[in-house]
C-alpha cells in the first residue's frame, strides 16, 4: 500500500500564500527604507574618516583600499579618488610596483587640500603613511632584491617629503636638488 501525502486543508492553503505575500511586503519595505538618501556627512565625520584612511598602519591602508574599490559607498563624503599615481616618477621603478602606494598618497594630499587641512602635520602624516606602504610592499619581495626596493622606497619618501607640495619647497631646496644633478 502506498502512502499518499495528505491533502492540504482549505485553511492551511490560504495561510501559506498570505505568509509569502507578507514576507515579500516586509522585504520590500526594508529595501525601500534603506535606499533613502544618505545622511549628510559633517566636516568632522569627513575629517575623521580621512584621518583613518591616512594612517601608517596596514589596517588603515587596507581600509582605504577597500573603500577605493567601493567608492559609491563613500559618495556622501565627497572624496577625490583621482590619481596620477607616482606623478613624474616611475610607478614601477626597477619592477617594484609602487602604484597603489602612490594612489593612497595622492588621496591623502588631494583630500586634505580640498578640506583646507593640508597642514605640515597632515602632510607629514600622509608622507609617513606613504613610506610605510612602500616598506610593506618591499617586504613582499625576496630578500635578494628587497634592499634595492627599500632603497627606492626611501628615495620616493624623501622626494615627497621635500617636494610633495610646492608650498613646502624653498628656492634653496630646488637649488640643492639641481646641484645633485
pLDDT digits (tens, 9 = 90+) for 18-37: 444 434 443 433 333 333 33
Of residues 82 and 178, which shows the higher confidence score?
A: 82
117 pLDDT higher than 80: yes
Structure pTM? 0.72
> pLDDT of 57-113, one tens digit each?
999 999 999 999 999 999 999 999 999 999 989 999 999 999 999 999 999 999 999
Q: In CATH, which of 1.10.260.40, 3.90.79.10, 1.20.90.10, 3.90.1150.10 is domain 43-180? A: 1.20.90.10
3 pLDDT higher than 60: no
Q: How far apart are the first and last CA of the chain?
A: 99
Query: What is the DSSP code (8-state) at residue 115?
Result: T
Q: Calculate the CA 25 to chain-centre distance.
A: 37
Q: How many residues does the chain have?
A: 181
Query: What is the DSSP code (8-state) at residue 167?
Result: G
Spatial neighbors of 53 by CB under 8 A, at least 6 apart, are 60, 63, 64, 67, 104, 107, 108
The pLDDT score that the predictor gives to residue 163 is 85
Burial 28-60 (b: 16+ CB within 10 A, else e): eeeeeeeeeeeeeeeeeebeebbeebbbbeeeb
Q: Among 66, 69, 50, which Cα is nearest to 58's?
A: 66
User: Residue 72 has which C-alpha cell?
Assistant: 559609491
Indicate the average pLDDT of the chain. Answer: 82
Sign of CA dihedral 44, 46, 49, 52: negative
The pLDDT score that the predictor gives to residue 164 is 79
d(CA 11, CA 9): 6
> In sequence order, which ranges of the chain are alpha helices (DSSP H)?
10-34, 43-53, 58-69, 99-114, 120-139, 146-163, 171-180
For the CA atoms of 103, 104, 106, 112, the dihedral, rounded to the nearest 10 degrees, stands at: 160
Indicate which residues carry an active-site annotation: 105
Of residues 13 and 67, which shows the higher confidence score?
A: 67
Where in the chain are the domains? 8-37, 43-180
% of the chain at pLDDT higher than 70: 70
The pLDDT score that the predictor gives to residue 101 is 97
The pLDDT score that the predictor gives to residue 18 is 47
d(CA 145, CA 153): 13
User: Residue 79 has which C-alpha cell?
Assistant: 572624496
Among 37-51, 67-81, 162-176, whose mean pLDDT is lowest?
A: 162-176
Amino acid at each position: 500500500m502506498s502512502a499518499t501525502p495528505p491533502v492540504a486543508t482549505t485553511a492551511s492553503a490560504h495561510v501559506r500564500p498570505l505568509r509569502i505575500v507578507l514576507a515579500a511586503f516586509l522585504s520590500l519595505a526594508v529595501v525601500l527604507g534603506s535606499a533613502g538618501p544618505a545622511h549628510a556627512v559633517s566636516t568632522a565625520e569627513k575629517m575623521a574618516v580621512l584621518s583613518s584612511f591616512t594612517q601608517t598602519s596596514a589596517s588603515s591602508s587596507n581600509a582605504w583600499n577597500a573603500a577605493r574599490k567601493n567608492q559609491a559607498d563613500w559618495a556622501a563624503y565627497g572624496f577625490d579618488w583621482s590619481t596620477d599615481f607616482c606623478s613624474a616618477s616611475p610607478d614601477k621603478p626597477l619592477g617594484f610596483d609602487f602604484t597603489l602606494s602612490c594612489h593612497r598618497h595622492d588621496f591623502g594630499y588631494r583630500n586634505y587640500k580640498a578640506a583646507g587641512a593640508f597642514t605640515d602635520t597632515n602632510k607629514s602624516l600622509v608622507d609617513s603613511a606613504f613610506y610605510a606602504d612602500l616598506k610593506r610592499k618591499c617586504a613582499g619581495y625576496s630578500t635578494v632584491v628587497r634592499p634595492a626596493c627599500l632603497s627606492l622606497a626611501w628615495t620616493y619618501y624623501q622626494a615627497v617629503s621635500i617636494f610633495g607640495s610646492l608650498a613646502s619647497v624653498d628656492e634653496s631646496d630646488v637649488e640643492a636638488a639641481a646641484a645633485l644633478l
